[in-house]
Amino acid sequence: MGEELKNFYSSDVTCISNIFLDKYLADINPVYLKVFLYIKWKGNAPISQIADDLNLTENDVEGAIKYWKKQKNKDGLSLSSITNVKSKANDDEDTPKKDYKTISKPKKVEKSDKEKQEMLFYAESIFPQTLTSSQVKTLNYIFEDLDFDLKLVKYLLEYCVDIGKTSHSYIKTVADDWCEREITTVNLARKYIKERDEKTIAKKEKYKQPAKKQYVGINTKPPVKEDDDFDKIAMAKMRARRLSKKS
């Protein structure tokens, strides 16, 4: 029995100060205590490893480490191991990145203030009314967030003015539609509008009602043909009236 105790005390031991136990043991968050004891025992370790070993989330471990770092500065605790623990962000930086081949969108071209002013000036010049704050906000959204170039924005405005719809909501709807269809140039926009209009006309022709060949109604007469001789018609009526008088 004495030999076993000797071997036990000669093995590695994690020392915890009684001052620490008096101050923190009663009221400390159990998660914070687990993290503290683990780090005092294991020393420096990545956040992910601590979370796995203690069955905690990485956010739990991160919160506990932040807490103990504050206590170290305030109470002068011996927490040198705590200060060496890497945060989750740093832990991720040290993890080798896998080389994934991804299709990335082209970077947006930074728009100059001069281009923005030109866009707003052009809109002001062709709109039937002064630009509202909502219209200006929508134009900036199209120009910057949707990344339309200046030529495409101008064409969009021309199109909306031509059809008499210049509300900010309608302009935004058209712009979002073009963006979803990956219309990035004026030529693509023209092509799309032309194809859509042709489909609309074809649909109307398909459901168009055929013209009536007969005229129905009281005291209605068919229209006079263009090649009718009005003089002959008048003479015929006069002869008919004379004959009726003689008889």
Tell me: do 84 and 137 sit in the same domain: no
Domain that holds residue 59: 12-91
- Of the two residues 227 and 198, the one the predictor is more confident about is 198
For residue 28, is it within any domain? yes
Tell me: do 124 and 195 sit in the same domain: yes
For residue 45, is it within any domain? yes
Q: Please tell me the distance from the alpha carbon of residue 38 to that of residue 8, in angstroms, as a whole number.
A: 19
CATH at residue 168: 1.10.10
**Nearest Cα to 20, choosing from 39, 5, 4, 45?**
39
Q: Report residue 179: phi and psi, to 5°.
A: -65, -45
pLDDT value, residue 82: 57
Token pair, residue 73, equals: 């500065």
pLDDT value, residue 49: 85
pLDDT value, residue 161: 92
For residue 152, is it within any domain? yes
Tell me: do 128 and 63 sit in the same domain: no
Contact 161, 129 (CB under 8 A): no
Tell me: do 121 and 194 sit in the same domain: yes
Tell me: do 26 and 74 sit in the same domain: yes
Contact 87, 47 (CB under 8 A): yes
Q: What is the pLDDT of residues 187-204, one digit of tens each?
A: 999 999 999 888 888 877
For residue 3, is it within any domain? no
Q: Please tell me the distance from the alpha carbon of residue 216 to that of residue 222, in angstroms, as a whole number.
A: 10
Side-chain-facing half-sphere of 152: CA atoms under 13 Å: 20
Tell me: do 118 and 61 sit in the same domain: no
Give the chain's mean pLDDT: 74
Q: What is the pLDDT of residues 15-67, one digit of tens each?
A: 777 777 777 777 788 888 888 888 887 777 788 888 888 888 888 888 888 88
Mark which of 91, 121, 141 sits at the end of a domain: 91
Tell me: do 125 and 184 sit in the same domain: yes
Q: Please tell me the distance from the alpha carbon of residue 146 to that of residue 188, in angstroms, as a whole number.
A: 16
Q: What's the burial of 10, exposed, middle or buried (CB within 10 Å: 0-12/13-18/19+)?
A: exposed
Tell me: do 80 and 121 sit in the same domain: no
Token pair, residue 176, equals: 């979002």
For residue 23, is it within any domain? yes
Looking at residue 240, what DSSP letter applies?
H
With a threshold of 0.75, does the pTM exceed it?
A: no
Domain count, the chain: 2
